[in-house]
A and B are shown apart, each in its own frame.
Chain A
Amino acid sequence: SYVLTQPPSVSVAPGQTARITCGGNNIGSKSVHWYQQKPGQAPVLVVYDDSDRPSGIPERFSGSNSGNTATLTISRVEAGDEADYYCQVWDSSSDHGVFGGGTKLTVL
């Protein structure tokens, strides 16, 4: 089965740039989606199809995907961005959804 690997944690100071990676075999050939989850809340889509943003998501959130790594980039990080972030793909070979293990973003 397809596996997505994320770092357990990323820390960044306010105003700096956070980069959260998602590794997978030839992930660049898949569409990657990213979700933000705050404690006690349902996940929220922040990036879809590698780099598109849903309406209402700040431009500070962006994504890229190439080779074996997809990246969620959060520019000018704010305290309110502190959350868990998950990457997700659809594995068409098995018709299964796959999530990364999640990354806890800490704003110092």
Chain B
Amino acid sequence: QVQLVQSGAEVKKPGASVKVSCKASGYTFTGYYMHWVRQAPGQGLEWMGRINPNSGGTNYAQKFQGRVTMTRDTSISTAYMELSRLRSDDTAVYYCARAPGWYDCWGQGTLVTVSS
């Protein structure tokens, strides 16, 4: 079955970077865009960007331009999202989601806590 498994929770200090992984299984990794969505505590869903696992091409939300980098390693069917210069308001659950046009499969989420 299609599955996305994300890396574990992280605690970071302000100004640091975090890299979250998302390992795909049960389908052809290069056949579907992978998107990243985050959710701050008690807040709604926020689209961060996407990567084409086949070409490596990316689109990022303007809000994160310059701070986010999405990459992939096709040999291990894994997508990555790295967010730099972390601030306290980056504290959130970060999700990867497979996108055949809509998000039909989501990772379990990775809690990133930014605190001094």
List A residues at the B interface (Cβ < 8 Å): 1, 31, 33, 35, 37, 42-45, 48-49, 54, 84, 86, 88, 90, 95-102
Query: How many residues belonging to B are interface residues under a CB distance threshold of 8 Å?
Result: 19
Question: Can you name 13 extra interface pairs (CB under 8 A) apart from A35-B103, A45-B102, A49-B102?
Answer: A1-B62, A33-B102, A33-B103, A37-B45, A42-B95, A42-B107, A45-B103, A48-B102, A49-B101, A54-B104, A88-B45, A97-B61, A100-B44
Chain B residues within an 8 Å CB radius of A49: 101-102
Instruction: Say yes or no: A98-B47 contact (C-beta < 8 A), given A31-B101, A42-B95, A48-B101.
Output: yes
Complex: chain B residue closest to A48, CB-CB? B102
Considering the chains assembled together, what is the distance between the CA atoms of A49 and B109 in angstroms?
25
Chain B residues within an 8 Å CB radius of A95: 59
Interface residues of B in 11-49 (CB under 8 A from A): 35, 37, 44-47
Contacting B47 at CB < 8 Å: which of A33, A43, A96? A96
Q: Are B108 and A42 in contact (CB under 8 A)?
A: yes
Provide a sorted-by-A list of 28 A–B residue pairs whose CB atoms are within 8 angstroms.
Answer: A31-B101, A31-B102, A35-B45, A35-B103, A42-B95, A42-B107, A43-B103, A43-B106, A45-B104, A49-B101, A49-B102, A84-B44, A86-B44, A86-B45, A88-B102, A88-B103, A96-B47, A96-B59, A96-B61, A96-B62, A97-B37, A97-B61, A99-B37, A99-B44, A99-B45, A100-B44, A101-B44, A102-B45
Q: Which of B37, B46, B59: most chain A CB closer than 10 A? A: B37
Contacting B45 at CB < 8 Å: which of A43, A45, A90? A43
